[in-house]
Chains A and B, each alone.
Chain A
Amino acid sequence: MRRVPPILLLFVLIPLLVEGFWVFWPALQGFWLALTNWDGVSAPRFAGAGNFSRMIDDPVFHTAVTNTAIWLVLFGGLSAVGGLGLAVLLQKERRGVGVYRAALFVPVVFSLVATSLIWQMLYQPGGLFDSSPLADPDTALYAVLVPALWRQAGYVMVLYLAGLKGIDPGLYEAATLDGATAWQRFQHVTWPQLRSVNSVVLSVIVIDSLRSFDVVWSMTRGGPYHSSELLSTYMYATAFQSLKLGYASALAVVIFVLAFGVIVTYLVRAFREN
């Protein structure tokens, strides 16, 4: 560490200004717009907390919140459990393990749009089902969830594999010598050692769940009858299809508030490691 030559201030200032202009400044505007009614053409009209009180009586908002909660639990929970299970299964280096890991990881590099087209094809009547589960309001959300999980599980697996790599193999040998069963080894060796990875995975799945948009938008646009609507898709449709920009911004603020706790936790951890 040394004194700072002036040119290095530019090294920091330019990126900071770019991010400030395209992220921080729009974010502040977003919070402000949430307090207005705006059609995008005439000037925004200040509405105070009106947009937020409107949500109370908005049935689509209720559906979107419920679905987002279901999404958080199922998409987040199942990808975490599944990813951990796969990582433990494929933890040990042995013949063929690289092929299995790659097979499970391949979907991660597909775009969610491509993923959703693949699954829409599988869902066509006469494929996996007699009629498409995407067309039925009772099943649409879950039919969208499956492809999202198909893609996310491999990603979470990679995070856990990296964490498992850091565990001292001696611990397993000692546990085996003491006669520990596979489950006991997991319970008393693996799990306690995964604490920091678990908190990373938790932040990742919460942030990813709240961000989920592409897969729902590609498969159902939130339909039929808003049955697969998430807050993110409802926000987008409100902004760019209904052109209620103030209400859409208020919906975005709700998403922000939900994500806020996790973002702060993540930053605190980053701060400590820094």
Chain B
Amino acid sequence: MSNRVFHAVAGTISVLWLLPIAAVINTAFRSFDDIAANGLGSFPRSFTLAGFADAWTNGGAGAMWNSVLVTVPTVFLSLALSAAAAYALSRFEIPGRRTIVLLMLAGNLLPPQILLVPVSKLTELLGIYDTLIALIVVQVGFGLGFYTFVLQGFMRAMPNEVQEAATIDGAGPVQIFWRIVLPMTRPALAALAALAFTWIFNDLLWAITVLRSSSVMPVTPALLALQGQYVSNWNVIAAGSVIAAIPTVAVFLRFQRHFISGLAVGAVK
């Protein structure tokens, strides 16, 4: 394909792909009166941050904070637990290790629907229903299998000599994990952290299964509530969508290479 044809085709597709995003950004910065008078589809005849202010003060700020409170510990705990499991399962003769790895992965492949009712009842039973703790532990439990599977594959590929040399120098298994294996696993951890961040931040299903009060809802479910509240104020809804997308877009742009390689390695979700 000649360069000119290639750029014409790829350029057209890319522009079409980005048009919905351009439209939402356009709407987010327009005033309600402008949209009411000229319609959603028209070019902007106003510029205001009022939509953002409304979305942010009507639950947006609280929801963003809830998302931080859920996402950061979930990513950290998931990767810490799965890195530990992956280390033991990949570098030592744990009895039944292959079965354990696959069993853990199988848990992550289950359709979440089979878990929803029992998990919501379990959180009620433990007295953590409608708290962020419930959302954190559920998501850690459900994600572990996948992260462990990817990390143990990565750790198995490490040369044995490093571990042997450290053992001869008198390092114990925990020290080897902490000082040698973990630092060498950094690329895989970074990829999984970027992926896990977006998955958890974007989650809707688990949140609406174990949470009920609007005061504890993270950004994604809160965005749905915002739509219910501002039925036809499209500038506020558009601004809310933009706010909700900023953290994941930022992570993607910052960790683009890790992100893509993580998707390619895992390819489960």
Q: In whole angstroms, how far apart are the Cα atoms of A8 and B140 in the complex?
A: 20
Q: In whole angstroms, how far apart are the Cα atoms of A93 and B196 in the complex?
A: 29
B117 touches A245 (CB 8 A): yes
B117 touches A4 (CB 8 A): no
- Return chain B residues, CB-CB under 8 Å to A263: 106, 109-110
A204 touches B117 (CB 8 A): no
**Chain A: minimal CB distance from B266 (Å):** 10
- Return chain A residues, CB-CB under 8 Å to B234: 121, 124
For B147, the closest partner residue in chain A by CB is A15
Tell me how many residues of B have a C-beta within 8 Å of chain A.
102
Q: In whole angstroms, how far apart are the Cα atoms of A249 and B39 in the complex?
A: 45
B249 touches A274 (CB 8 A): no
B112 touches A117 (CB 8 A): no
Known contacts A270-B102, A271-B98; A40/B121 CB under 8 A: yes
B68 within 8 A of partner (CB): no
Which of chain B's residues 71-114 have a Cβ closer than 8 Å to chain A? 81-82, 84-85, 87-89, 91-94, 98, 100-102, 104-114
**Chain B: minimal CB distance from A49 (Å):** 17
- Return chain A residues, CB-CB under 8 Å to B208: 240
B172 touches A111 (CB 8 A): no
- The secondary structure that dominates the A interface is helix
Interface 0/1 of B1-45, CB less than 8 Å to A:
101001101110111011011011001000000000001110000
- Return chain A residues, CB-CB under 8 Å to B198: 109
A4 touches B260 (CB 8 A): no
- Return chain B residues, CB-CB under 8 Å to A3: 92-93
- Return chain A residues, CB-CB under 8 Å to B245: 109-111, 114
Known contacts A89-B10, A213-B205, A252-B117; A159/B141 CB under 8 A: no
Which of chain A's residues 12-40 have a Cβ closer than 8 Å to chain B? 12, 14-16, 18-19, 21-27, 29-31, 33, 40
B224 within 8 A of partner (CB): yes
- Return chain A residues, CB-CB under 8 Å to B153: 273-274
